[in-house]
Amino acid sequence: MKSTSIYQIFYKSILPIVGALLMSATLSAQAVIRVKQVDTDADQIEIINLGDQADNIGSFWLCLGPGSYVQINNATSDNTNLDPGESLVVNYNVDATADGFSLFSTPSFSSTNPEILIDYVQWGAAGQPRVGQAVTAGRWDDADNFVTGSSPYVFTGAATDFGSTFWNAGSPVTVSILQLACGGEVLQVTGSEAGPTAGGNATDERRTIYAFQPDGAGGVPTYTGGAWPYVIVPNGFTADPFISANITVGANDILLINGWPAYQYVLDQNDQAANGTFGPWFYFETDGELSQDACPPACANPFPAVDEVSLMTSVGGSNVATSWDAVLGQIGCQIQVRFAGGNILGSQIIGGANASSFNIPGSVLQLGTDYEWRVRCGCSQSPLVAGPFSSWQPFTTPGSAVIAVSPNPTEGQSFATFSVAEEGQATVEVYDLSGRMVGVIFNGMAQPNNHYRFEFDGSSLPNGIYIYRLTTEREVQTERVLISK
């Protein structure tokens, strides 16, 4: 009869639970590969990963019907590994008039398995090749449904949406940034659906967009009239990566910025115009906040001081890093350094609206010494308009390197002990009084707060005085040793 230990009982009971948990964690994240866009004018297919796990689609197949297919690895030299949200554009000849496109994970082109027939879209006419397979696999809604209009054909649904309902014809809207003459930045849109809206006739040309204050952030436009057309985006949108606003599409394909409906202004006649901020109308800034001027604040005197809480100091091996929070409206800052409680040693101007740090070079500082720094920022150099200096911020540079030799005098055998103040390359060498090097004790990287001890055999050297020299990246220390036999 076999005996069973308590450890065997534990592992038999716990391993299935651990395995189930690991499998659950694995299944919770997956790639969802979909066809994002078909551009028949450019003969290009865009494929996107709408899941939350990376997947390599190089082995997938593009197919337009029996006899017309190609593996993605053979259609592009680009990286086929798609991270979540990443897409790949592949060149592939498609019929601009009418066609049906399938994406397969394997070359089983007659399959109705949705794990193999990944996605499908048809345009121009019903009944395209493989549409029956796609309907059976749940990758298309009905064989008689197809996308109408002009290319490109754009998928606007979510990862689990399939069928003609989630495809539109035409290019997506582009949300971009206009820099005003005063330096402020506001949002614009290119490609809005042209034509009449409840707010007026919209244009598809690039225009500044606005918010109507009575709307609020509820997503429903309330203005009716002729001067403020709605921004309608039936084919989705792309946005400048420097825009941090939350951009979405609401009911009836209205573009929303942080929940606020977006409008054009009919008196803006070109892409540089931004005339629509008066009364209840506001610009959208890049973060989606509303403003009627969007201009940076003027240079006010007195200018604010730097936030004392933000002042930071970090003493490193080769420099001293200082930092602070930039002051709104600044054009630059000034930092000063001095011996602790002493005279100012130097001053440096750091230009820019985002100036918020400076590295004090270690080469201008003495080892093992107390220093202080302070900073102020300003909005004008002539005349000078700057805030008061911050309080002095103390720091101490690392101590110096040390070398000691024992016994001293010695009959030949000796031990060199040394330490360094900062990490870096170090050497310990032995010289006679003529300057000739007679030995190398150490050559390598040394760390601070460590004590190194090495033996040196000088028994073959003539009697006399020798120099044991420690060299680091910033200093040299020596010890005189008498060899007497």
DSSP per position, 368-433:
T-EEEEEEEEEEEETTEEEPPP---EEEE-----EEEEESSSBSSEEEEEEE-SSSEEEEEEEEET
Query: Over pLDDT 90: what percentage of the chain?
Result: 67
pLDDT at position 126, please? 93
Question: What's the longest Cα–Cα distance across the chain?
Answer: 109
pLDDT in tens, 171-198: 778 999 999 888 789 999 998 988 999 9
Q: Which of 24-33, 99-108, 327-336, 405-414 has the lowest mean pLDDT?
A: 24-33
280 touches 290 (CB < 8 A): no
Quickly state the pLDDT bin for 20 (edges 50, 70, 90): very low
Q: What pTM does this model have? A: 0.42
Quickly state the pLDDT bin for 319 (edges 50, 70, 90): confident
pLDDT at position 16, please? 42
Three-state DSSP at 185 gives strand
Query: Over pLDDT 70: what percentage of the chain?
Result: 94
pLDDT at position 72, please? 95
11 φ/ψ angles, rounded to the nearest 5 degrees: -65, -35
Q: Where are the beta strands (DSSP E) in 130-278?
A: 153-155, 167-169, 173-179, 185-190, 195-197, 200-202, 207-208, 210-212, 237-239, 247-249, 255-257, 260-261
Average pLDDT value over all residues in the chain: 88
Quickly state the pLDDT bin for 22 (edges 50, 70, 90): very low
Quickly state the pLDDT bin for 140 (edges 50, 70, 90): very high
Residue whose C-alpha is closest to residue 262's, from 239, 293, 234, 284: 284
Distance CA(390)–CA(9), nearest Å, equals 67
Quickly state the pLDDT bin for 27 (edges 50, 70, 90): very low
pLDDT at position 317, please? 65
The answer to whether domain 308-396 has CATH 3.30.420.10 is: no
Burial class, 373, CB count within 10 angstroms (exposed 0-12 / middle 13-18 / buried 19+): buried
Question: Which residues pair with residue 444 across a beta bridge?
Answer: 426
Distance CA(390)–CA(344), nearest Å, equals 15
Residue 7 pLDDT exceeds 80: no
Domain boundaries for CATH 2.60.40.1930 within the chain? 402-483
pLDDT at position 458, please? 93
Residue 54 pLDDT exceeds 50: yes
Residue with tokens 């997503």: 219
Distance CA(413)–CA(458), nearest Å, equals 6
Quickly state the pLDDT bin for 367 (edges 50, 70, 90): confident
Distance CA(275)–CA(286), nearest Å, equals 18
The answer to whether domain 402-483 has CATH 1.10.1040.10 is: no
pLDDT at position 393, please? 96
DSSP per position, 45-57:
EEEEE-SSS-EE-
